[in-house]
């Protein structure tokens, strides 16, 4: 049975700057969200109705329809959390956005990682504890709890370093996808540290020692020769709990 890809829900990004939209989408997808991008304000409400997002990231200045109008329309029929983006720092703009029902307000330029953390924090607050979705990926006895940052193997806790956990998370969230060493480095060292890509091989070796029965014949983390690594997407049963 081929493994399924974890889906924490769809986030709609309404942003006319394509580079900004692509960067935010990348960071969201790394965390397990599905990112849907709209560059034209005139299409935002229609796309929102089609993709049923759990969160909306909304730029204020958009072609054809501005963010204030979109937020006002969303609030007429939905309580979906909304985070507004703007290049304007005036207090009046922040007050206006929050008064319309926005849940947060971020001024450009911003840190994509901080933005994603804000999204996750707002979602935690907006969902009743009894109905929150806790994404847990399980594959042949290896279990990764994305919310608790907890890993078990055949029911026993696996102690991972921060870098090992980040690598395993990146691989398990996208089973079958080949990650280059450089891509995995970005997951581990995202503050501009200068690190050679072969450090990933060291992390993978230690990670395999902790989760594999036989490191010479790995079942979970497979080598993509001349490129990097991928998580096994076949010959096993993976489910999202």
DSSP annotation string for 164-199: HHHHHHHHHHSTTPPEEHHHHHHHH--S-----TTH
The 3-state DSSP class for residue 86 equals strand
Q: Flag whether 1 is in a domain.
A: no
Query: How far apart, in Å, are the Cα atoms of 24 and each of 37, 112, 135, 203?
Result: 10, 6, 21, 27
Q: Is 13's pLDDT higher than 90?
A: yes
Q: Specify the CATH number for the domain of residue 69.
A: 3.40.50.2300
Q: Are residues 157 and 92 in the same domain?
A: no
Q: What is the pLDDT of residue 204?
A: 93
Share of the chain above pLDDT 90, in %: 30
Structural domains counted in the chain: 2
Nearest to 222 by CA among 237, 234, 210: 234
Longest dimension (CA), the chain: 62
Q: What is the pLDDT of residue 193?
A: 43
CA distance 164 to 202: 10
Q: Are residues 62 and 154 in the same domain?
A: no
Band of the pLDDT at 90, cuts 50, 70, 90? low
Q: Are residues 20 and 120 in the same domain?
A: yes
Mean local confidence (pLDDT), 203-211: 93
Q: What is the pLDDT of residue 77?
A: 77
156: its two tokens: 């026993």
Structural domain ending residue among the three candidates 103, 126, 149: 126
Mean local confidence (pLDDT), 151-161: 88
Band of the pLDDT at 20, cuts 50, 70, 90? very high
Q: Is 76's pLDDT higher than 50?
A: yes
Q: Is 97's pLDDT higher than 80?
A: no
Q: What is the pLDDT of residue 94?
A: 58
Q: Flag whether 5 is in a domain.
A: no
CA distance 166 to 6: 15
Q: Is 209's pLDDT higher than 70?
A: yes
Q: Specify the CATH number for the domain of residue 165.
A: 1.10.10.10
Q: Flag whether 206 is in a domain.
A: yes
Element (H, E) at 207: helix 199-211
Residue 178, CB half-sphere, CA atoms under 13 Å: how many? 7
- Beta strands, E only, the chain: 10-14, 34-38, 55-59, 82-86, 104-107, 136-139, 142-145, 150-153, 156-157, 179-180, 221-224, 228-231, 238-240
- If one compares 211 and 105, the residue with the highest pLDDT of the two is 211
Q: By residue range, what is the domain housing residue 40?
A: 10-126
**139 in Cβ contact with 236 (< 8 Å):** yes
CA distance 225 to 222: 9
204: its two tokens: 């993978």
């Amino acid at each position: 049975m081929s493994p399924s890809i974890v889906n924490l829900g769809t986030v709609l990004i309404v942003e006319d700057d394509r580079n900004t939209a692509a960067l935010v989408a990348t960071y969201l997808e790394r965390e397990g969200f599905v990112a849907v991008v709209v560059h034209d304000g005139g299409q935002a409400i229609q796309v929102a109705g089609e993709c049923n997002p759990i969160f909306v990231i909304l730029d204020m200045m958009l072609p054809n329809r501005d963010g204030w109008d979109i937020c006002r329309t969303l609030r007429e029929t939905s309580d979906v959390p909304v985070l507004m983006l703007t290049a304007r720092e005036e207090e009046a703009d922040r007050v206006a956005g929050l008064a319309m029902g926005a849940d947060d307000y971020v001024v450009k330029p911003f840190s994509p990682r901080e933005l994603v953390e804000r999204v996750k924090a707002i979602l935690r607050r907006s969902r009743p504890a009894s109905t929150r979705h806790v994404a847990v990926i399980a594959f042949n006895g290896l279990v990764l709890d994305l919310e608790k940052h907890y890993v078990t193997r055949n029911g026993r806790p696996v102690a991972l370093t921060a870098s090992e956990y980040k690598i395993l998370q990146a691989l398990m969230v996208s089973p079958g996808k080949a990650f280059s060493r450089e891509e995995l480095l970005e997951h581990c060292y995202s503050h501009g540290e200068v690190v050679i890509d072969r450090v990933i091989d060291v992390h993978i070796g230690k990670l395999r020692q902790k989760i594999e029965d036989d490191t010479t014949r790995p079942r979970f983390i497979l080598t993509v020769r001349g490129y990097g690594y991928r998580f096994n997407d076949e010959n096993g049963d993976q489910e999202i709990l």
